[in-house]
Amino acid sequence: MVEHPKFPETIPALQGSWAKVGAAVGLEPAGVLFFQRIFAIAPEALALFSFKDEPSLYDAPKFREHAIKVMKTVDVAVGMLTDVANLLPVLEGLGEKHKYYGILPPHYDVVGQALLETLALGLGDEFTPALKAAWAEIYGVIATTMIKGAKYNEKSDEEYYKGYAKPADAKGEELTKKSMVSAMDWFMNPTPQSRPLPVEF
């Protein structure tokens, strides 16, 4: 069995290859390709998304907005590989958030396969066995950390809402969801100009 370099030795290769995908393909097209691979591997996964009923799925603005947001999240995570101590809590928070949207541990395997296939399509011959092994290793850490953050079957609704009472009605729950998304955007969008407008109550 061939031994490949391990993290953190692979950080330059991971960051360099991700930058090449962004330059060659672009983050939005890469995001579309990524979701195409997800839905090819697991068609039933489409039911988890709000854009599931769009007639022209891959051209729908709601879908494309989500695709680019996911790729920006990956971009931030790849950029933080040199700062693992701060990256891990963020990944745990993302795992907790995605649990709330219906994501289960087996879904992470589908996402991992789709990511590797997207990288292979974006990089072509440059996606060597060593680079594939590096990406598989780091994705394994990301998935494990997010699953850890979700704490499946361990949290009550009250604990999920950070000690606050569970919203009493659908409107309250909707506002809670929006506030959680806004809180994550403060991390994802470091400059005020790139942040979304405040949630309207």
The tens place of each residue's pLDDT in the chain, 201 residues long, gives: 678 999 999 999 999 999 999 999 999 999 999 999 999 999 999 999 999 999 999 999 999 999 999 999 999 999 999 999 999 999 999 999 998 888 999 999 999 999 999 999 999 999 999 999 999 999 999 999 999 999 887 655 545 544 444 556 677 666 655 555 544 444 444 444 444 444 333
* Domain end position, chosen among 155, 175, 193: 155
State both tokens at 142. 């990301």
The string over 119-138, giving b where at least 16 C-beta atoms fall within 10 Å of a residue's C-beta and e elsewhere, is bbbbbeeebeeebbbbbebb
* Structural domain that includes position 144: 11-155
Shared domain for 76 and 164, answered yes or no, is no
Residues 87 and 175 occupy one common structural domain: no
| Cα 28 versus chain centre, distance | 14
111 shares its domain with 38: yes
Residues 86 and 165 in one domain: no
pTM of the full predicted structure? 0.76
Question: What is the C-alpha separation between 48 and 82, in angstroms, rounded?
Answer: 32
- Whether residue 151 contacts residue 160, with contact meaning beta carbons closer than 8 Å, is answered with no
- Domain check: are 167 and 149 in the same one? no
Together in a domain, 26 and 94: yes
Q: How far is CA 157 from the centre of its chain?
A: 23
Task: Say if residue 168 is in the same domain as residue 119.
Answer: no
Token couple for 144: 């494990």
Do 143 and 200 share a structural domain?
A: no
Instruction: Write the DSSP symbol of residue 64.
Output: H
Same domain, 104 and 189: no
Distance, CA of 117 to CA of 14 (rounded, Å): 15
Residues 174 and 117 in one domain: no
Rounded CA separation 124/116 (Å): 12
